[in-house]
Amino acid sequence: MTSSRSWRSEEVARNDRALLRAAREVLAVDGVHASVASIAARAGVGVGSLYRRYRTKQELFQRLCLIALREYLDAATEGLAMDDPWEGLMHYAMASIRSGPGSLAPVAGTFEPTDEMTDLAEQGDRAVARLVERAHQAKVLRAGVTPVDLELLIEQLSKSPLQEQLQRQGRTELYDAARNARERVIAIALDGLRAVPAGPVPGQPPGYELFAMRWVPPAGGAQQSE
């Protein structure tokens, strides 16, 4: 069961990645009530394959949190490794938003964290504190902003209600527009952290259909998962 030469082990790994990605997406949309069936369906595997890898639903979520914490720490240390204080801070923020600790918020507090998890969290917090302090000393970060402010802002930006609704309704034709719009919103919000005025808003101005579509039920009838 360890390392077999060349078998379908690569498909196994691929399935596992798909499973983790699907779990994070479904968790972001459905919250705590996310069902294992929908996770497996989104990953394109059967529930049997899910339960062969994770003995229970909670075990899968724990693994997810552990991975997110690792990405969180990595993002912070990478940011610290950068020379420019502001760029380092933004690297951390962007990566942290992307890895989505915010989307894991519904799971938080539902199980006792392992020692490894608390350890990773502490290391990450220390790195972020240094990141913030460095940016303050360079006068590029707005005065008064604390690490907690930054983390809460990141969490606030982690979710994407618009993209969630789009994928819930299966309107794939608007995915690109939604992603562009989301990047603009994130850029605007993060620029509120700047001590100096920001440049122009990046990307294309979003079309109006993104906002207008929200209230009308989907045409095709494709709702929920698959």
Task: Write the DSSP symbol of residue 45.
Answer: S
**93 is an interface residue for its own copies by CB under 8 A:** no
Please report how close the Cβ of residue 135 comes to its own copies at its closest, in angstroms. Answer: 14
6 binds, among its own copies, DNA, none (CB under 5 to 8 A by kind): DNA
Enumerate binding residues for DNA (CB under 7 A).
Answer: 1-8, 11-12, 15, 33-38, 44-49, 51-52, 55-58
Helix (H) or strand (E) segment spanning residue 166: helix 161-169
Q: Which residue has the tokens 């990773």?
A: 120
Among 23, 26, 29, 75, binds its own copies (CB under 8 A): 29
Provide the token pair at 17: 């990645």
Check the CA dihedral 127-75-98-45 and report its sign.
Answer: negative
**191 is an interface residue for its own copies by CB under 8 A:** yes
Contact 3/13 with Cβ under 8 angstroms?
Answer: no
Residue closer to DNA (CB basis): 144 or 221: 221
Q: For its own copies, which stretch binds (CB under 8 A), given 8-16, 17-25, 40-48, 107-115?
A: 107-115
Among 48, 205, 220, 221, binds its own copies (CB under 8 A): 205
**Those residues with Cβ within 8 angstroms of residue 102's Cβ, 6 or more apart along the chain or in another chain:** 154, 155, 156, 157, 158, 159
